Structure 1
Amino acid sequence: MSTNNEVSMRSKHLEKLRELHLKVNEARKSNHLEVVEEDRRSKLPSNWETRQRRLQWEEEDEVFKIECAKKNIDPDRERALDVSADIADRLEARRRKKKNTDEGFSTYADASHRKYLKMTKQLKPDLAAYQKEKEKLGELAFPTADTIGLTDRKDPPEAVERLAKQIIEQGAKRPAYSRRRPFDADADIDYINERNKRYNELLERHYGKYTAEIKQNLERGTAI
């Protein structure tokens, strides 16, 4: 009886040992596959996955356009119908933000051009009326020295009023934009010209805290 129990226990132990061996082999095989895959990915270009996603998107987009062409449907319109209102609002806000991005100062010409576009947008010109008038006048829409004064066109009073109001507002804002500091008659004069003044201010910003005591001693006459 005890012999049978020993045989049964031994069989169970062998079965568990066999299962452990199988699990170890499966884990070793899985680890090997992961190492091989990791090595394969490391040898690919850095933007490989992005390129693959791009190719997949282009293939799907081509199929989508073919299906729309078969149904005689505008693909852009059909794609817009699948976009939720919330996502559409975010995309439109992102588009406006990108369009109105201030790239900072590059050249005076670019700064003047951006200011011109901004002021033109604020004036809200009637482009439809302008286009109609240009078609009506033809070459006289852009008069030369020989043709100037041949037309009796006049700007609408409301347009003139908008322009005058815009100019007045710009004039009121201009002092606030000026970076030139007002002249202080009570300030100490320690410079000989504007360039020397800026140089002294630069030195004061960087070394003023180290030379404050020396200046005070010189003013009191107690410097060594």
Structure 2
Amino acid sequence: MSSQVERSSSAPKDISFVERQIKRIKRLRSLHSARNQARTHNQHEVVAEQARNKLPPNYEAKGRQAEWLRDDQTKHQDTEKAEKHYARVNLLNLLSAVEAERLECKKKKRNSDEEFSTYEQATVRQHNKLVKIMPAAGMEQYEKEKQKYGDAFYGGPNVIIHGMHEDRREAVDKMLMTWKADSKRLATLGDVHTITMQILITLTREMLISTRNWRDFTESIQLKLNRTWSVELPYSYCKLKLFVQSCCTL
């Protein structure tokens, strides 16, 4: 009897229909509230996404840039009030040596033309430019020349290399191309000089012939300059035009 009483007391009590209905209603209300919250959150996300899509593509980058500029300006003003050099303080406090070197290299890449500073720097730049143009060393050519010249390949006080060396076909062609380019450049300079002299001769002749009417003289010269030399020699045209105007004021 005692064991049966213990089993009946330990067994779960039956829940009534009303209690089960109340629990179901509570669960249903919680699900409804969760669904409404998710719907509201989703609506906010959709509105925010539409607003982001209407913005320009670089809006965030511009915002970061504007914020950085504002912070940089405030730091600049603070350093000026403290009578300190902003660039030095920025490099000492904010940037490491590696970061500073990276920024310096980036600046040099943006403006590679360092202009003229000293003769030593100009010499170094010219040397680097010529070294980049030089072809890569070929070991086959090196071994051939070494076998060809023998002991004279390394040179010495008693070695006469003149007459033993033969220029390569590629080197001769390269020298010929360089010479042709220089000759064309000098020819164009000579043509410019010749045209300038012809203009001066024409002007002197016109001045000697039509000295009676200065207005007609200047108009004819200006027409000739505008027709012939304004396209080819704008610099000489400006100089000659000023010369004509100065002559007219006499």
Q: TM-score normalised to the size of structure 2?
A: 0.38
Higher helix share: 2
Q: TM-score normalised to the size of structure 1?
A: 0.42
Q: Max radius of gyration: which structure?
A: 2
